[in-house]
Amino acid sequence: MSDKDNQPLSGPLSGKDLARKPRGFPDKRESLIHAQARLVETVTGVYRQWGFEALDTGAFEYADALGKFLPDADRPNAGVFSMQDDDAQWMALRYDLTAPLARFVAEQGQGLGRPFRRYAAGPVWRNEKPGPGRFREFWQCDADTVGAPGFHADAEMIAMGAEALRAIGMKPGEFVIRVNTRRLLNGVLDGVGATGADIRLAILRALDKLDRLGASGVADLLGAGRKDESGDFTKGAGLGPEEIKRVLAFAEAGADTRAMTLANLAKATGSTEEGKAGLGELEAIALALEALGAPEDDVKIDPSVVRGLEYYTGPVFEAELLREVTGEDGKTYRIGSIGGGGRYDDLVARFTGETVPATGFSIGISRLAAALAIMGEGGKLDGPVVVLNLDKDNPGVALGLAAELRRGGIRAEAYMGASGMRPQMKYADRRNSPAVVIVGGDELEKGTVTIKDLEIGAQKAKAISSNEEYREARPGQIEVPRAGMIEAVRAIVEAQR
C-alpha cells in the first residue's frame, strides 16, 4: 500500500468537512467515563477477590489466530477490523477477550501452569453496521478458568458474575443470569430426528423468537411456517405435531427454582445420549451454585438461552438487565444482555491439538455504563474551584492561589485567559464549580480574598428583584483574610456535597 493510497477516495476534504469521525466510535464525556471506570474497578475487584489474576493481550492478533466465531458474519472480514502487516500477514483487532486468551495459552504451553485463572478489562472492536446504541468499539470485563474440566468451574463463573452485578449496585430481581447447555439442546434436536444442519438452524432460529412471538408463533415456525402481520411468510422447520410439542415443552421448562426447571427438563429431553449428558452438566452446575450460595433470583436454568459466539461447546450463560431503565428525559430504554459466557473446550485445541477445558464470563461494561449514565447513576462529580484571573498582566496571583488551594487538598484551577469577569463567572458555572475565588486590587491591598459560593449565590439571587439590590447584597459572597482562604473554601465545598 503506497502512502498515496492513504487518502479519501472522494478527494481531499478541508475545513469543517474534515471535522468528522467514523460512526460507531463515540466520544465519551465525564459522566460516562466515570461510570465506566467505576464499573471496571468494581468488577475486576470481584474477579480478583475470587482468585483471578490479571492478563492483558494487545489490540491486534493475527486474523487466523483469532478465528471466525462471530455470529452473523455476513460482512467482509467476518465482522472484524483487519489489515495487512508489513510481512503481508493479516492482522485483526480483537473482537472479544477470549480468542486472544486461547492464543496466549497455546503459545505459553505447559509452562503456564494450570488451571490458569485470569481476568481482563479492555476495548474490543466489531466491524458491524453502527446504529443507535450499537457501537463498533466497546469495553468488556472477562474472567476465565483454563484447564479445569469440572462443571463447578462453570458454576463459579456464573456465581461470580452474579456477585459482580450485585457489587455494581444491581438489586435482586433487577438482573438474571440464565444458564443452559448446548448438549441439552442437541439432545432435544436428536430426539426429534433433526439431524441435518439446515433443520437444526431453523429450529434454533424459531426458539430464539420465543420472547417475541410466544409459543404459538414458535410452533408455527417449528411446523409448516408462519405468516406475520404484514403478510410475509417464513418457511418453517417442518416438524410434526408431536415433535413440536416436545421442542416447546423443552423451551418452556423454566420454573421458579433451578431444581424444578431441571425436573421439567428431565421430562422434556427424553433419553438421547446428548440430552442425558446435558442434563447431567446442568445438575452438576446447580449443585455447585448451591454450595456457592448463588440466590435463585440471580441465576436460573433456562433452556431457551443460545449464545451467538460459535466457540462454545457446553454450558452457556447469558446475563440480562431486567430493571427498566428510565432516562432523565423520562424515556424508557431496553438494555437487554449485559454479559454472558460459557465453556469453550476446543478453542485452545485449534492451536495445540490438545483439548484444554476452559470456561469464562464476560460483562459488557460499555452497555452497563450507558445504562447507568441514562439513569443518572454515574455518581455526582464535583467541579473545580475557579480562581478568577483579574490581573491580565500578572497571572501569577491567580496561579499561586490555585496552587495553594490544591496543596490544601481542594480541586482548583486558575482561570486560563484574560477575559472580563462575566465570561469567567460563566465558565465557573459551566464547570459546576462550587465556588470562585476573587482577588482584585482591593483584596490585594487589604490582604484578603473574596469567595463566592455559587450554589448559595444562585439560590439567593432568585429572591432578589433588582440589579441594585443584587449589587448591594452580593449573594453568597464573603471576604476573608488570605490566610483563611483554604478553610473557608473547604467549608463551602463540603457543605455542597
Give the annotated binding-site residues for L-histidine: 96-98, 126, 140, 144, 307, 311-312
Q: Is 290 in the site for a copy of itself (CB under 8 A)?
A: yes
> What's the closest the beta carbon of residue 290 comes to a copy of itself, in angstroms?
7
Cα gap 492→235, rounded to integer Å: 69
> What's the closest the beta carbon of residue 472 comes to a copy of itself, in angstroms?
30
Handedness of CA 110, 115, 121, 126 (dihedral sign): positive
What's the chain's Rg over C-alpha atoms?
30
Residue 16-45 contact track with a copy of itself, rule CB under 8 A, x = bound = x-xxxxx-xxxxxxx--xx-----------
Of 334, 422, 430, 471, the residue at the interface with a copy of itself (CB under 8 A) is 430
Site for a copy of itself in 147-166 (CB under 8 A): 147-150, 152-153, 155-156, 159
Residue indicated by cell numbers 485463572: 117
> What's the closest the beta carbon of residue 107 comes to a copy of itself, in angstroms?
4
CA 87 distance to own-chain centroid: 35
Q: Is 497 in the site for a copy of itself (CB under 8 A)?
A: no
**What are residue 109's phi and psi, to 5 degrees?**
65, -150
CA 40 distance to own-chain centroid: 9
Of 38, 42, 54, 461, the residue at the interface with a copy of itself (CB under 8 A) is 54
Cα gap 21→24, rounded to integer Å: 9
SS (H, E, C) 274-327: HHHHHHHHHHHHHHHHHHHCCCCCCEEECCCCCCCCCCCCCEEEEEEECCCEEC
For a copy of itself, the closer of residues 67 and 303 by Cβ is 67
Cα gap 165→174, rounded to integer Å: 10
Cα gap 413→406, rounded to integer Å: 8
Q: Is 133 in the site for a copy of itself (CB under 8 A)?
A: no
Of 39, 43, 70, 78, the residue at the interface with a copy of itself (CB under 8 A) is 78
Cα gap 134→263, rounded to integer Å: 39
Of 10, 230, 466, 467, the residue at the interface with a copy of itself (CB under 8 A) is 10
Residue indicated by cell numbers 443460545: 306
Q: Is 51 in the site for a copy of itself (CB under 8 A)?
A: yes
Of 38, 57, 174, 276, the residue at the interface with a copy of itself (CB under 8 A) is 57
> What's the closest the beta carbon of residue 108 comes to a copy of itself, in angstroms?
9
> What's the closest the beta carbon of residue 344 comes to a copy of itself, in angstroms?
15
> What's the closest the beta carbon of residue 353 comes to a copy of itself, in angstroms?
6
Q: Is 3 in the site for a copy of itself (CB under 8 A)?
A: yes
> What's the closest the beta carbon of residue 222 comes to a copy of itself, in angstroms?
32
* Residue positions forming the annotated binding site: 96-98, 126, 140, 144, 307, 311-312
> What's the closest the beta carbon of residue 330 comes to a copy of itself, in angstroms?
24
**Using N-to-C axis directions, what is the helix angle for 182-191 and 197-207, rounded to 10°?**
120
* The Cα angle at residue 57 between residues 153 and 139, in degrees rounded to 5: 80
For a copy of itself, the closer of residues 64 and 228 by Cβ is 64
Contacts of 311 (CB under 8 A, 6+ apart): 67, 69, 98, 99, 344, 346, 347
Q: Is 142 in the site for a copy of itself (CB under 8 A)?
A: no
Q: Is 463 in the site for a copy of itself (CB under 8 A)?
A: no
Of 42, 61, 221, 253, the residue at the interface with a copy of itself (CB under 8 A) is 61
Q: Is 399 in the site for a copy of itself (CB under 8 A)?
A: yes
> What's the closest the beta carbon of residue 146 comes to a copy of itself, in angstroms?
10
> Which range of residues in 103-111, 168-176, 191-199, 331-339 is near a copy of itself by CB under 8 A?
103-111
Q: Is 6 in the site for a copy of itself (CB under 8 A)?
A: yes
Of 315, 378, 384, 476, the residue at the interface with a copy of itself (CB under 8 A) is 384
DSSP-derived pairing of the beta strands 412-414 and 385-387: parallel
For a copy of itself, the closer of residues 139 and 250 by Cβ is 139
Q: Is 353 in the site for a copy of itself (CB under 8 A)?
A: yes
For a copy of itself, the closer of residues 51 and 376 by Cβ is 51
Site for a copy of itself in 362-381 (CB under 8 A): none
Cα gap 466→473, rounded to integer Å: 11
Handedness of CA 257, 319, 271, 225 (dihedral sign): positive
DSSP-derived pairing of the beta strands 175-181 and 299-301: parallel
Handedness of CA 428, 433, 435, 440 (dihedral sign): negative
For a copy of itself, the closer of residues 362 and 433 by Cβ is 433
